[in-house]
Amino acid sequence: MVRETIRFWRQGQAIEVSGFHPRTTLLDYLRLQERRVGTKEGCAEGDCGACTVALGRVRGGRVHYEPVNACILLLGQIDGAELVTVEDLAAGGELHPVQSAMVEAHGSQCGFCTPGIVMSLFTLYHDGGRPLSRESVNDALAGNLCRCTGYRPIVDAALHVCGGQPDDAFATHAEQNVQGVEALADGQDIFIGDESRFFAAPASEDSLAVLYAQHPDATLVAGCTDVGLWITKGMAEIEKIIWLGRVTGLDRIEETSDMVGIGATVTHAEAHPSLARIDPDLGELMRRFGSWQVRASGTVGGNIANGSPIGDLAPALIALGSELELRHGDATRTMALENFFIAYRKQDRVPGEFVRRVTVPKLKGNEVFRAYKISKRFDEDISAAMGAFRFTLDGRRIAEARVAFGGMAATPKRAPETERALVGLSLDEPSTWGEAMAAIARDYQPLDDHRSSAAYRATVARNLVFKALSEAASGETRATRIIGQRDALQAAE
């Protein structure tokens, strides 16, 4: 059975939409078709948060709300979800509690950013009665840019109103909303359009494999946080879109005592806890990945398949020795993750083949892992360089090393010369570490671009080798880090 519409839950009703252009963004739908213009367009590239809306999906028997950037989300991607926009918050002539808190704290001046900020606070308000700190509110608001009010009153408003049990119209109608959203899940494939232009959303891996084999020229979309920019900024005329968000099974995380298997459509927000359990540095990397909005939409599979030389996950997962699984038609194959990246934006993936999942080995007792994201800002910034290290120790000596960097070559790449130079080093003899630091220069010809010069990247990579060794030697991060200190993170767990 194929459905020719998308269906979502909005203001207590199921809405059905059809006949839209596959590239239609949610923001354009809201502003140009629904004519609800409370949701603003600022940057149109996922950075400012002015377009933030909430999507609700049922997990553990309740609707779980997450913020998303409507500017880089396709309309088709809201199938099966509850959509909440800023117009939906005030009820019965009363402002929503987060709106009242913003008024009381003087959290708005020109007001352009305010709808987006209110929607991020709405999702925080519903995030489930957990204690909030100024830092966690800052994290939640990292994807919302305010140019004139300043963040202090906005964070005050959040601290005042969020963190308790929600008490608004959405909490009152929680059961009705759960039933409404659950009733949307029919397990049918979606196909809207014709053979030359369509938005499709297969419900199973088999349907996906057949459809993609028939249309290998179609663009796969998972979270759309990369593809969205091709549309809004690159003006790419993508005519055939296959959205992976409804494919059963690709959203699964499997965990055993020695590995974590992450399905291609698992979002960064969903993968965060499992990765953080492997190592606190992976948790910190995920905390700093884009913004809450980007982590709620963007996927692990999309980050890998995109093949960006500055993507954050690939170097970390390569250093851990991860494997990638791909599927084409009925055939699946597995490869070491580093072998997937062939050349600049060229991956080992044949037409019609898709990424299925990545398997990440957990650390053994004698293994030490470190990952460092180097960017101009701590939050909501793409890396200039990203270095990851896994040392296997034999006592205080390095018996084996895996080192991978992003931002240092046309692809995420291992550092074989550095790895060789690290083997045999004693963690107690820093005077012998120089050769391993120097070897980085033979492994990479760094990128030279607006994010940083090649010379800066080369120096930073060399210094990161020293930093990883000295942290492995002492177990301390107080002297080597401004944020993301491992001892503080571990204490918080």
Ligand X SMILES: Cc1cc2nc3c(=O)[nH]c(=O)nc-3n(C[C@H](O)[C@H](O)[C@H](O)COP(=O)(O)OP(=O)(O)OC[C@H]3O[C@@H](n4cnc5c(N)ncnc54)[C@H](O)[C@@H]3O)c2cc1C
Q: Are strands 219-221 and 240-243 parallel, antiparallel or unpaired?
A: parallel
Helices (H), 42-87: none
Is 49 or 309 the residue whose CB approaches ligand FES more closely?
49
- Whether the CB-CB separation of 190 and 246 falls below 8 Å is answered with yes
Rounded CA separation 319/337 (Å): 10
Q: Is 220 in the site for ligand X (CB under 6 A)?
A: yes
Q: Quick one: what does residue 398 bind among ligand FES, ligand X, none, with the CB cut-off 5 to 8 Å set by partner type?
A: none
Q: Which stretch binds ligand X (CB under 6 A): 2-10, 221-229, 273-281, 317-325?
A: 221-229
Q: Is 113 in the site for ligand FES (CB under 6 A)?
A: yes
CA angle, residues 377, 389, 419, in degrees to nearest 5: 130
Count of residues of this chain found to bind ligand X when the rule CB under 6 A is applied: 30
Binding mask 42-81 for ligand FES (x = CB under 6 A): xxx-xxxxxx-----------------x-x----------
Residue 18, CA atoms < 13 Å, CB-side half-sphere: 9
* Residue type, position 150, single letter: G
Is 50 or 58 the residue whose CB approaches ligand FES more closely?
50
Is 297 or 418 the residue whose CB approaches ligand FES more closely?
297
Host H or E run for residue 483: none
- Closest by CA to 404, choosing from 299, 294, 285, 244, is 285
Q: Which stretch binds ligand FES (CB under 6 A): 106-114, 155-163, 168-176, 467-475?
A: 106-114
Q: Quick one: what does residue 220 bind among ligand FES, ligand X, none, with the CB cut-off 5 to 8 Å set by partner type?
A: ligand X
Is 218 or 401 the residue whose CB approaches ligand X more closely?
218
What is the spatial order of strands in the sheet that 197-201 belongs to? Answer: 2-3, 189-194, 197-201, 240-243, 219-221
Please identify the residue of the shown chain whose CB is closest to the bound ligand X.
Answer: 302
Q: Which stretch binds ligand FES (CB under 6 A): 57-65, 112-120, 263-271, 414-422?
A: 112-120
Sign of CA dihedral 279, 285, 291, 293: negative
Is 25 or 477 the residue whose CB approaches ligand FES more closely?
25
Rounded CA separation 339/335 (Å): 7
Is 50 or 201 the residue whose CB approaches ligand FES more closely?
50
Is 85 or 274 the residue whose CB approaches ligand FES more closely?
85
Q: Quick one: what does residue 244 bind among ligand X, ligand FES, none, with the CB cut-off 5 to 8 Å set by partner type?
A: ligand X
Q: Is 285 in the site for ligand X (CB under 6 A)?
A: no
CB of 38 vs ligand FES, minimal distance in Å? 13
CA angle, residues 285, 289, 292, in degrees to nearest 5: 125
Which two tokens mark 67? 């913020």
Contact pick of 34, 41, 168, 325 for ligand FES (by CB under 6 A)? 41
Instruction: Tell me the sheet residues that pair with 445.
Output: none
Q: Which stretch binds ligand X (CB under 6 A): 44-52, 58-66, 388-396, 450-458?
A: 44-52
Q: Quick one: what does residue 443 bind among ligand X, ligand FES, none, with the CB cut-off 5 to 8 Å set by partner type?
A: none
Q: Is 223 in the site for ligand X (CB under 6 A)?
A: yes
Is 52 or 149 the residue whose CB approaches ligand X more closely?
52
Q: Is 151 in the site for ligand FES (CB under 6 A)?
A: no
- Closest by CA to 75, choosing from 10, 169, 142, is 10
Q: Which stretch binds ligand FES (CB under 6 A): 78-86, 110-118, 243-251, 374-382?
A: 110-118
Name the CA radius of gyration of the chain, rounded: 23
CA angle, residues 474, 389, 396, in degrees to nearest 5: 40
CB of 254 vs ligand X, minimal distance in Å? 17
String of DSSP letters for 226-287: THHHHHHTS-----EEEE-TT-TTTT-EEE-SSEEEEETT-BHHHHHHHHHHH-HHHHHHHH
Q: Is 320 in the site for ligand X (CB under 6 A)?
A: no
Torsion region of 364: left, alpha or beta (phi above 0 gives left; psi -120 to 50 gives alpha): beta
Contact pick of 290, 387, 446, 484 for ligand X (by CB under 6 A)? 290
Q: What SS3 class is residue 25?
A: strand
Instruction: Tell me the sheet residues that pair with 267.
Output: 299
CB of 212 vs ligand X, minimal distance in Å? 9
Q: Quick one: what does residue 227 bind among ligand FES, ligand X, none, with the CB cut-off 5 to 8 Å set by partner type?
A: ligand X
- C-alpha pair distances (Å), 268 with each of 38, 44, 373, 387: 28, 21, 16, 19
Contact pick of 118, 142, 275, 294 for ligand X (by CB under 6 A)? 294
Is 87 or 348 the residue whose CB approaches ligand X more closely?
348
Q: Quick one: what does residue 192 bind among ligand X, ligand FES, none, with the CB cut-off 5 to 8 Å set by partner type?
A: none
By CB under 6 A, the residues from 380 to 399 that bind ligand X are 382
Binding mask 239-268 for ligand X (x = CB under 6 A): -----x-------------------x----
Contacts of 163 by beta carbon, 8 Å cutoff, 6+ apart: 129, 130, 131, 132
Q: Kindly list the residues in this chain that would bind ligand X in the complex (CB under 6 A).
A: 45-47, 219-227, 244, 264, 289-290, 294, 297-299, 301-303, 305-306, 311-312, 354-355, 382
Q: Kindly list the residues in this chain that would bind ligand FES in the complex (CB under 6 A).
A: 41-44, 46-51, 69, 71, 108-114, 146-149
